[in-house]
A and B are shown apart, each in its own frame.
Chain A
Amino acid sequence: MTIQGTPTKLANAATPAPALPAEWRDFYALTKPRVMTLVVFTALCGLLAAPVAIHPILAFTAILCIAIGAGASGALNQYFESDIDAMMKRTKSRPLPAGRMERPAALQFGIGLSGFSVVTLGLATNWLAAAILAFSIFFYAVVYTIWLKRATPQNIVIGGAAGAFPPIIGWAAVTGDVTLLPILMFLIIFLWTPPHFWALALFVETDYANAGVPMMPVVRGKRATRVQIFWYSIVMTVSAVVPWALGLTGPLYGLTASVLSAIFVGLSLRVLYNSSEDTTLMKPEKQLFRFSILYLFILFGALATDRIVMP
């Protein structure tokens, strides 16, 4: 309650009213383009892994709508979090905390993009995909950003679901339904998110602590976070090989998933045995964070390729 109330006042006091209208570059920055890359890629993999084909223009529209929906989530997230963004070194130069944009503009932009992406996806493909996209925007902007992030150290675990929806949306845009494989793709991203973000939170802990965000290392300590990272890596590894074990993919994916997951677990073991409290000595955490990004790209790329070439 205190955490939720205080920063809003701080934001209002700290954010100066801009004299000029915001630049289009600031609106673009609101959409978190770097995060969007992973969303677009996993959505594309979901779309390519589907057993039927879709017209290239409709496929392009589906991916575009998912990207715009992700951008809308990012804009709404920055609207609701401008207070804590102002307190963190990593985020204080964003358009809202830096005072380059008025807050209502960010809200209108986010709502506008959400409406456009959902309606266009529904018209171009089907309303199941549009409904899942709408739910994922709501989940990220409201459930994660407003309810969970400031309330519980499990914020990333539950909030990770928001980032796991794109392959399901991509699949649903093609097939009009949701089967086991897209659910497994969802599960892989869902279980990948905690080790990925907690590794980051370990070496930027000071920032989260300053902003009053109850990230796992801030609330439970570094040791507990490292243990959680390890166990999530194990469960994620199991989920990563399940599509191959169930015969939903071929040996290309099976081999890739096994090798990559072994490396992931190896790196998470190094994190587990690192007892450093000093962020400059957190090389294993930094390595795991960097590898986790590569891991998801290669794993999903292999899955899509396997499904395309599999007889």
Chain B
Amino acid sequence: MSDQNEATSLGQSETEHRLDPAPRDMFAQHEGQLDGFLSAEASTAMRARQKSRAQVMGVLLGAAALLFFAITIVKTGGM
């Protein structure tokens, strides 16, 4: 019974949230995002973070390639 009440109250809350534009505007301001589009500021921040992650990933993959090359040489008796 209490679960039902909780579900009803959650449902009402979601409906109110959808009908009232204010929370969406607030979300857009807060997160820099509206209807799947990023604001210029959020887009720049995301690109910077993606670039930073890609650079680290590149260095790690390069290191892994070198490591596997060295292991192969050792295992085949080249060193």
Contacts and interface: CB of A to CB of B under 8 A. Distances in A.
Contacts of A23: 49, 52-53
Given A55-B79, A57-B79, A20 B46 contact: yes
Contacts of A58: 71, 74
Which secondary structure dominates chain A's binding surface? helix
B15 interface: no
A123 B71 contact: yes
Interface string B37-57: 000001001100110110011
A124 interface: yes
Contacts, number: 35
Contacts of A13: none
Interface string B59-73: 000000001101100
Contacts of A57: 70-71, 74, 79
Interface residues of B, number: 19
A180 to B, nearest CB: 29
B71 A21 contact: no
A23 B74 CA distance: 35
B42 A19 contact: yes
A9 B78 CA distance: 56
16 contacts: A19-B42, A20-B46, A21-B50, A23-B49, A23-B53, A24-B52, A24-B56, A57-B70, A57-B79, A58-B71, A58-B74, A64-B67, A120-B68, A123-B71, A124-B71, A124-B75
